[in-house]
Homo-oligomer: A and B are copies of this chain.
Amino acid sequence: MRLSRYFLPILKENPREAEIVSHRLMLRAGMIRQQAAGSFSWLPLGKRVLDKVNRIVREEQNRAGAHEILMPTIQSADLWMESGRYDDYGKEMLRITDRHERAMLYGPTNEEMVTDIFRAYVKSYKDLPLNLYHIQWKFRDEVRPRFGVMRSREFLMKDAYSFDLDFEGAKAAYNRMFVAYLRTFSRMGLQAIPMRADTGPIGGDLSHEFIILASTGESEVFCHRDFLQLQVPGADVDFGNDEEIAGIVKTWTTPYAATDEMHDEAAWGAVADDEKVSARGIEVGHIFHFGTKYSKPMNASVTGPDGKEHLVSMGSYGIGPSRLLAAIIEASHDEHGIIWPESVAPFDIALINMKAGDGECDRVCEELYTALTAAGRDVLYDDTDQRAGGKFATADLIGLPWQVIVGPRGVAAGEVEVKNRATGERETMPIAALVQRFGGRP
């Protein structure tokens, strides 16, 4: 993409309404625009990151055997009356009346609807296990939405729902999502720690939050230092092997870890002082096992191998991709701006023409742009007539992993400079070597 033709509205000033760094940087980098209280548009740069985050979420859900569907945002109130949650949910639920005076609502979550889908089609234990997920907009009418997309009213959520014959099956399904979440966050460059959690309005008796440590985190968390060394399972992990998956969950739930809601002072006291990590955390995922909480009132059952009807045992599994973007920035930035992990960066490379209009600089940039793009790299080519200082500041602010800097002196020597955004390291290299470095042919 040529910056001269792109829509990247960088803000020079720090927006006053932004209370946390991710909100400030997302506004300044032209990623989002606030449209109403707790409601945001995603501008092109933000949309690209959101797409990359969604892709990783999707790949790991699919790898774990979940199937993608897409449920509507607006739901009929009838389903929620059936489960008994319509009155319970309170003012966070956005209630709507249509032109025929029917009670509708903007879905804050989808347990009821997906249970309705399940019971319409699945009749036998032979069709289990089943896990259906979607990535769809949700609305929760928070009293005080704030912190940008970290706590907005309209937000994107990946929510998965598992259906099994019995607790044993449901536990295996829960474990698969647990491991999928470890991989999902790790691929985004995040160190996420699973912590026993309260189940809140979703209900149930087994629940983990996935928390990343960040000094700006919303809540206090307590965990054993061992977590910082644990290995996240590789792409070859066998989701068909319940025992292997359970073993990984065991490893990741054995050391002490708790949010302040679930904190146990006695157990914490048993951890040696030099092994304690007490920090602030940001919730990036939350998984629940709740058994028959929805299948019972909604009568979702299957015929078992014994020929009898069994209410299915369920769980639900949430990740907020829009919130994740903010969490990634909270965990990865410096005083100059965002530092994107390569897996979710909006572009891989900022190609900076230090003297646009100079014949040789233009020629080399065009060649590099073509070669790097052909090599499958996403390149943002700064071909504008801004001065070099402004270009560097923009590249640092938007946080692309690599900057390739093309100036008249370097070009005369057949060289360009490469800067690593994360480390700040700079390297001068021949033009052909650069293309080779990024996977293309010189």
Q: Taking beta carbons and an 8 Å cutoff, which residues of A are in contact with B?
A: 5-7, 9, 30, 33, 35-37, 39-44, 47, 50, 65, 67-76, 91, 94, 96, 98-99, 102, 104, 106, 113, 116-117, 120-122, 130, 132, 137, 139, 141, 143, 153-154
Q: Is the CB of B36 within 8 A of A74?
A: yes
Residue from B41, B65, B76, B96 in contact with A96 in the complex, judged by beta carbons closer than 8 Å: B96
Q: How many copies of the polypeptide does the oligomer hold?
A: 2
A40-B72, A73-B137, A141-B98 given as contacts; is B33 within 8 A of A117 (CB)?
yes
Contacts of A42 in B (CB 8 A): 69-71
Contacts of A70 in B (CB 8 A): 41-42, 47, 50
Contacts of A69 in B (CB 8 A): 7, 41-44, 47
In the complex, A94 Cα to B7 Cα: how many Å? 31
Please provide the 7 A-B residue pairs with the shortest distance between their CB atoms, ordered closest to farther: A9-B121, A42-B70, A36-B76, A41-B71, A44-B67, A72-B154, A39-B72
Q: Is the CB of A7 within 8 A of B132?
A: yes
Residue from B30, B113, B139 in contact with A41 in the complex, judged by beta carbons closer than 8 Å: B113
Contacts of A73 in B (CB 8 A): 73, 137, 154
Q: Is the CB of B143 within 8 A of A35?
A: no
In the complex, A141 Cα to B9 Cα: how many Å? 35
In the complex, A73 Cα to B91 Cα: how many Å? 19
Would you list 21 pairs from A and B whose C-beta atoms are within 8 A, ordered by A residue?
A7-B67, A7-B69, A7-B121, A7-B130, A7-B132, A33-B117, A35-B72, A35-B113, A36-B72, A36-B74, A36-B75, A36-B76, A37-B102, A39-B76, A40-B72, A41-B70, A42-B70, A43-B69, A47-B68, A72-B137, A99-B143
Q: Is the CB of B65 within 8 A of A5?
A: yes
Contacts of A141 in B (CB 8 A): 98-99
In the complex, A174 Cα to B47 Cα: how many Å? 24
Q: Is the CB of B7 within 8 A of A74?
A: no
Q: Is the CB of A71 within 8 A of B9?
A: no
A39-B72, A47-B70, A74-B154 are known; give 8 further A-B pairs, CB within 8 A: A7-B132, A33-B117, A35-B75, A41-B69, A44-B68, A94-B96, A94-B98, A106-B106
